[in-house]
Structure 1
Amino acid sequence: MVNLIASRIVKPAKPIPTKVMFLSECDQRVAVTHATVVHFYKPESPELLNDATEVLKDSLSEALVAFYPLAGRLYPKDGGRVELHCNSMGALLVEAQSELKIQDLGDFCPAPQIRALIPPIDNNNTPLHEVPLLLVQITKFACGGVSIGLAVSRVIADGQSGFHFVSEWAKIARGEKSDDQPFLDRTIFQKYEDDHPSSTAPKLQYSDFFPLPVLIGRSSSLEGRKKATICAMLKLSKDQIEQIRNKANDQDLMIHKTSNQRPFSRFVAVSAHIWRCLSKARMHNPAQETVLYVTVDFRKRLKLPLPGRYFGNAVLPVPARAIAGDLQSRPLSYASSKIKEAIENVTDEYVRSYLVCMKNIPEVSTSPYFHTVGRPQGLFFGNPNLIVTTWVGLGLYKADFGWGDEIFMAHASLGDDGKLFIIPSPNGDGSLLIPLGLQVEHINAFKKYFYEDI
């Protein structure tokens, strides 16, 4: 249904620094794969798309001058880590045509027909240094709409950095000046990664992060990894979100008889609701330990905050732990407080100690805590656990390449059990969309609890 027409390598429009760029331990710990998203547009006038591919090519070439790490390549290095060569090898731009109409994609839930809007990537059979760090596909639909599919190396950019790049690229495509430059010097992390003086040895130990709980009666998560998964797109209206949030906060007030603490946020309350419903749907033993990982951006949590436009990875997955029996029987405020506490634990000392612990792993290729070359699986966040990432507040739906604001932004793939995102609805009405990967055997029960327990 998608026909590839042409492909080309796009290099920076001007000479860029040629060097090996320092990568932090936060860059090293992520999967050596690509994060994939698709932006959809429906221009009012089809003529706006006549030269769309050339506009994207020229503007991308300009954008890669400021964001030149995306034009480089990764190489394996000792210890299972990787290094970034800024060598202007360029990004891949693919042009394609689809027989579908955008409306044929339904609710944009990650599925093979969405994945077809991203350039194919063969990480298993292609040498690492030959894989572009940025791949782009422009696909024109039968309805006159268009999509831009992006695959961005997880090593190079987190969500905030990735959206920053897309925003500046879109400005250039519209003929405007890119005036919000990225901060590229990752050596700023070295002051945090240096060993602590012996008098202030890091308090954080690996056990605070790992190992993840496995189902009672099983010795590992291998069986769970093999089970069939499916993706569902959940929706919460503004009123439903407020009901969940009020439920968590009202119960907290009844328990603590005080309002001195800040109320639980929408994100915390909704995540807690998902955690409880998922434990029920998975039919956990009351004694089962379960962990909800939440990805926390720590740019502003350091004593010396990172620049707001720091380009790289500045997020950590932090664990909230509970016993299934408590999670299901106690009020929603219980799960909410666990998540809130985990987020508030991310302080300057926490980040520093995490980085030191990770740096002190000499051979990460044998460590289950890193996603390394040849070990793309890494940690398994599935049953009895989950991992939640929020993209609320990242400025979604504002990447106008000259065809108007995007009508939707979809994840291209999300098949992992227990992995979910919380994203704002494109219509700006305060509702949320939640693409969720879950084992097929649990999806119907989860949907039932998710809406009935509001």
Structure 2
Amino acid sequence: MNISQQPHIEPTFRTWVTPSTSTLCEDRVQLSDWDVVMFKSYTPILLFYTNPDKDPEFMSTQALTQSLADVLVEFYPLAGRLIDVGQGRDAIECNDAGVLFQEAKYYSSLEEFQQDGYLPSQMDYHRMFPIHFYTKYSDPLVAVQVTRFTDGGVALGIMILHKIADKYSQCLFLDAWCKQARGVAYNKATYDRSLVAVPPNVAVTDEVLDYYRDEHRISGEDHDIRINPDQPKYARTAPDGPMPLKSVILEFYSDGLHQCKRDAHTPDMIKNKIWLSTKDALFAMLFRAIVRSRDVSPDEAVNMIMGINGRSKMKGLDLYFGNWMV
């Protein structure tokens, strides 16, 4: 009897990638105030690459590891380790300990995986990442897993410690790695924490404190958090709040995004040249969908707080590597 194997992931290779040229130095990269308040947790990015030509050398291990080692010469803090320097602060010890690199095989095709909406019932997305929790000093700041499908397609799972980088910085590093692999010049990051230092003698006014308290208020007299016993163990909860929403994977295409942007502009906005970016239009559409799904009264005010890249609000910070969200 020939029983076909159910799709599953099997790790096949694991190594540590260090900078191709030693970057050892006595200096540590200090963390900014924005870095310090971030959690010691990994931020995931999962990217999928099709291989329509079935090229056996597509995203080869040698090309990926060599280009990663080369790009780490410029992004050398990512090969270091976090160290406690006292007074509630951490720093990056630049010791060239390396980035975790792992490969795995997925026993099905990427084409079938896509047809199932990127979320087959038997699939566990956690298995597409080489590490999930930061627990000790020796844990890497960056970890990568290359998952290869039977049709030559690839999933690239990247974890970067939020304590040292926001999403913008994560993408800056990935862009540099990709360009290094193709032999194309890339932008080099800056780790100058003085660029985001708080100016001296900055006063926190009563107005700012009132705004903070209003945004973080807890309504009602009873502030005890009561957890629904039927709620999944690791799901988020809130005082008397509804059960958490399920995860939803959304797939966007350029033509749909352009149509969304066109629909977001009213005749008055066009007449007065009030333009929304594609990202703003997308977030507005998603926010409207969430509000409508919750059956909120048309008269009820609904607010959304969203972190954005602070580099767009200041000059000279395009290549700043760290956390700078507002």
Aligned partner of 2:230 in structure 1 is none
Aligned partner of 2:232 in structure 1 is none
CA shift, 1:135, in A, is 0.3
What residue identity is the alignment partner of 2:94? C
Cα 1:104–1:18 shift into 2, 3 Å = farther
Aligned partner of 1:4 in structure 2 is 11
Aligned partner of 1:194 in structure 2 is 200
- Indicate whether 1:184 and 2:191 are aligned: yes
Aligned partner of 1:233 in structure 2 is 249
Contact 2:258 2:278 in 1 (8 A): no
Aligned partner of 2:156 in structure 1 is 148
Gaps of at least 5 residues in structure 2 are 1-7, 228-234, 238-242
CA shift, 1:216, in A, is 6.5
- Indicate whether 1:72 and 2:88 are aligned: no
Within the candidate set 208, 211, 215, 2:211 is matched to 208
1:428-443 matches, within 5 Å, as none
What residue identity is the alignment partner of 2:20? A
Contact 1:35 1:151 in 2 (8 A): yes
Q: Tell me the distance in 2 between the aligned counterparts of 1:95 and 1:72.
A: 21
Aligned partner of 2:231 in structure 1 is none
Aligned partner of 2:313 in structure 1 is 301
Cα 1:35–1:312 shift into 2, 3 Å = same
Query: Once the two structures are superposed, what CA deviation does each residue of 1:188-207 show, in whole Å capped at 9, x if it has no partner?
Result: 223x34333x7xx6676244
CA shift, 1:36, in A, is 1.0
1:300-449 matches, within 5 Å, as 300-302=312-314, 305-316=315-326
CA shift, 1:187, in A, is 2.7
Contact 1:109 1:232 in 2 (8 A): no
Match of 1:233, SS state, is coil
- Indicate whether 1:108 and 2:111 are aligned: no
Query: Once the two structures are superposed, what CA deviation does each residue of 1:76-132 show, in whole Å capped at 9, x if it has no partner?
Result: 454544322222111101121110211233333699533321113333xx32x1210
Number of positions where the alignment pairs a residue of Structure 1 with one of Structure 2: 298
Q: Tell me the distance in 2 between the aligned counterparts of 1:86 and 1:110.
A: 41
Q: Tell me the distance in 2 between the aligned counterparts of 1:207 and 1:109.
A: 44
Q: Tell me the distance in 2 between the aligned counterparts of 1:179 and 1:269.
A: 30
Q: TM-score, normalised by structure 2?
A: 0.78
What residue identity is the alignment partner of 2:73? V
Contact 1:23 1:84 in 2 (8 A): yes
Contact 1:98 1:140 in 2 (8 A): yes
What residue identity is the alignment partner of 1:306? G
Cα 1:187–1:7 shift into 2, 3 Å = same
CA shift, 1:259, in A, is 4.8
Match of 2:246, SS state, is strand
Match of 1:47, SS state, is coil
CA shift, 1:299, in A, is 1.6
Aligned partner of 1:450 in structure 2 is none
What residue identity is the alignment partner of 1:118? F
Match of 1:9, SS state, is strand
Match of 1:100, SS state, is coil
Q: Tell me the distance in 1 between the aligned counterparts of 2:113 and 2:209.
A: 43
Cα 1:262–1:90 shift into 2, 3 Å = same
Aligned partner of 2:55 in structure 1 is 46
Cα 1:242–1:287 shift into 2, 3 Å = closer
CA shift, 1:3, in A, is 0.7
What residue identity is the alignment partner of 1:63? V
Aligned partner of 1:372 in structure 2 is none
Cα 1:38–1:239 shift into 2, 3 Å = closer
Contact 1:73 1:86 in 2 (8 A): yes
Aligned partner of 1:117 in structure 2 is 128
Q: TM-score, normalised by structure 1?
A: 0.58
Cα 1:120–1:239 shift into 2, 3 Å = closer
Q: Cα RMSD (Å) of the superposition?
A: 3.2
Contact 1:74 1:82 in 2 (8 A): yes
Cα 1:177–1:240 shift into 2, 3 Å = closer
Q: Tell me the distance in 2 between the aligned counterparts of 1:206 and 1:63.
A: 43
Contact 1:214 1:220 in 2 (8 A): no
Cα 1:178–1:276 shift into 2, 3 Å = closer
More strand by proportion, 1 or 2? 1
CA shift, 1:4, in A, is 0.9
Aligned partner of 1:172 in structure 2 is 180
Identity rate, percent: 23
Contact 1:169 1:178 in 2 (8 A): no
Within the candidate set 30, 35, 52, 1:22 is matched to 30
Cα 1:264–1:60 shift into 2, 3 Å = closer
Within the candidate set 138, 141, 144, 1:136 is matched to 144
Contact 1:69 1:156 in 2 (8 A): no
What residue identity is the alignment partner of 2:99? A
Aligned partner of 1:291 in structure 2 is 303
- Indicate whether 1:280 and 2:296 are aligned: no
Contact 2:129 2:158 in 1 (8 A): yes
